[in-house]
Chains A and B, each alone.
Chain A
Amino acid sequence: KTDNSNPFWVAFKSATDKMNLKLDIRIFPGGTDSRYVRRVGIPAIGFSPMNYTPVLLHDHNEYLDAEIYLKGIDIYTQLISAIANV
């Protein structure tokens, strides 16, 4: 759940706010491993820090800009610090 009742989500959201990241919250259309984690009662967020990137998973010429990849490391550094200190 992405509301104030989940302190991890609150930490996640405030970390992304601090970095001025624009979030687009959705329900995943397919099925990933997070569904099994949620099924045993653990809140899970699906997030890959790739903006300005065409969706090429499972496609030919799957690519990622190195700059976006490196920015993703910065993002995780902040995110992990926030959620591991809840």
Chain B
Amino acid sequence: MTDYENHPAVNNLRNYIRIRSVHPNINYDECINYLKAQAKELGLPYQVYELVPKNPILVMTWEGLEPSLPSILLNSHMDVVPVFEKSWTYPPFEARLVDGVIYGRGVQDMKSVAIQYIEAIRRLKNKGLRFKRTIHLSFVPDEEKGGKNGMKNFVKSDYFKNLNVGFALDEGLASPDDSYIVYNGERSIWHINVICPGK
């Protein structure tokens, strides 16, 4: 069996899970510092945008060979939903590794994806590969609360327009069987208030 305890990509994920970016009132500083260090390790330039105070967005950029072409966006959110700690077998922010399984809030939704993007980019860069299109990795806040302070605002900004995104990847969902789930659209959510006045 692989020695997961000493596997750099596994450690990278476990360290990211240990950052308590949990609602409510998240302080994103530790996340942002962690991601800045990742960008430096990868040798990628990054920008931090703070369109809404306390809700920073970090974007790392790997420039393509034809940077005028529309870019690829690999998006992930940094926040996770709250926990009811008593119901957990292992502490949710310890990222415990038990029999080759990682336990922790955010390991599915979606810190694994964030670090998978980073590790994939690291591998491609280490092979000396370059691609036609520029790749941006964005790390956004507030998704679990609807993205009002995160992506919703960001897509309307000039910063986002300047990224010239042509195609994006974001989170999907786990699948219990052998298939992989791919989402190409989303249902719109309509909240309806029904008022029933009594007689």
- In the bound complex, residues from chain B placing their C-beta under 8 Å from that of A47 are 169-172, 180-183
Of B77, B117, B181, which contacts A76 at CB under 8 A?
B117
Q: Mark A38-54, 1 if CB is under 8 A from B, else 0.
A: 11101111111111111
Q: A residues 60-84 with Cβ under 8 Å of B?
A: 60-67, 69-70, 72-73, 76-77, 79-81, 83-84
Of B10, B64, B113, B170, which contacts A37 at CB under 8 A?
B170
Contacts known (A42-B167, A77-B124); A69 close to B72, Cβ less than 8 A: no
Of A1, A31, A37, A81, which contacts B131 at CB under 8 A?
A81
- In the bound complex, residues from chain B placing their C-beta under 8 Å from that of A52 are 175-178
Q: A45 and B184: CB pair below 8 A?
A: yes
Q: A45 and B7: CB pair below 8 A?
A: no
Contacts known (A40-B155, A80-B72); A50 close to B174, Cβ less than 8 A: yes
Q: Which of A16, A39, A84 has the most CB of B within 10 A?
A: A84
- In the bound complex, residues from chain A placing their C-beta under 8 Å from that of B180 are 16, 21-24, 47, 49-51
Number of interface residues of B (CB under 8 A): 82
- In the bound complex, residues from chain A placing their C-beta under 8 Å from that of B185 are 27-28, 38
Q: A48 and B184: CB pair below 8 A?
A: no
B88 within 8 A of A: yes
A18 within 8 A of B: no
Of B105, B123, B171, which contacts A73 at CB under 8 A?
B123
Q: B182 and A26: CB pair below 8 A?
A: yes
Give chain A nearest CB distance to B179 CB in angstroms: 4
Give chain B nearest CB distance to A62 CB in angstroms: 5
B140 within 8 A of A: yes
- In the bound complex, residues from chain B placing their C-beta under 8 Å from that of A21 are 180
Interface residues of A (CB under 8 A from B): 1-2, 6, 8-9, 16, 21-40, 42-58, 60-67, 69-70, 72-73, 76-77, 79-81, 83-86
Q: Which 8 A-B pairs have the closest CB atoms?
A: A46-B183, A84-B131, A57-B109, A76-B120, A33-B151, A8-B167, A53-B174, A60-B87
Interface residues of B (CB under 8 A from A): 2, 4, 7, 9-10, 13, 64, 72-75, 77, 81, 83-84, 87-90, 92, 97, 100-110, 112-113, 116-117, 119-121, 123-124, 129, 131-133, 135, 140, 143, 146-147, 150-152, 154-156, 160, 165-189
Instruction: A52-B176, A62-B105, A66-B4 given; name 5 further pairs at CB < 8 Å.
Output: A28-B173, A46-B171, A47-B172, A47-B182, A73-B119
